[in-house]
């Protein structure tokens, strides 16, 4: 007899590389400590959610930025990344 997986957990299993995800979370923690723009973004997210969600949102933002830096071969622009 197999156990039925709840519908809310079916589409998000093993989503992405766990080591790359860890690296981006570490980068987000570093950015949160030393970058004023990242700190402001983190504080805005913390006002709405908890710390884990806020740091994952920051790591997702950094992951998107690194993708566009590599794809377009442009330098990292902090002001463009953290626009309100």
Q: In which band, very low, low, confident or very high, does the pLDDT at 63 lie, cut at 50, 70 and 90?
A: very high
Give the predicted TM-score (pTM) of the model: 0.81
| Domain locations in the chain as residue ranges | 17-81
Q: Judge contact between 56 and 24, C-beta under 8 A.
A: no
Q: Is the dihedral of CA 32, 64, 82, 51 positive or negative?
A: negative
**Cα–Cα distance between 57 and 82 in angstroms, integer?**
12
Q: In which band, very low, low, confident or very high, does the pLDDT at 1 lie, cut at 50, 70 and 90?
A: low
CB atoms within 10 A of CB 13: 7
Please tell me the predicted confidence (pLDDT) of residue 4: 77
Q: Judge contact between 27 and 42, C-beta under 8 A.
A: no
pLDDT above 70: residue 27: yes
Q: Judge contact between 31 and 72, C-beta under 8 A.
A: no
């Amino acid at each position: 007899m197999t156990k039925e997986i709840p519908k809310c957990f079916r589409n998000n299993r093993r989503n992405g590389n766990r080591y790359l995800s860890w690296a981006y979370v570490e980068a987000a923690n570093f950015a949160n400590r030393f970058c004023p723009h990242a700190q402001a973004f983190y504080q805005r997210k913390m006002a709405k959610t908890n710390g884990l969600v806020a740091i994952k949102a920051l790591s997702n933002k950094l992951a998107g930025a690194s993708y566009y830096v590599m794809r377009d071969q442009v330098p990292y622009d902090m002001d463009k990344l953290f626009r309100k």
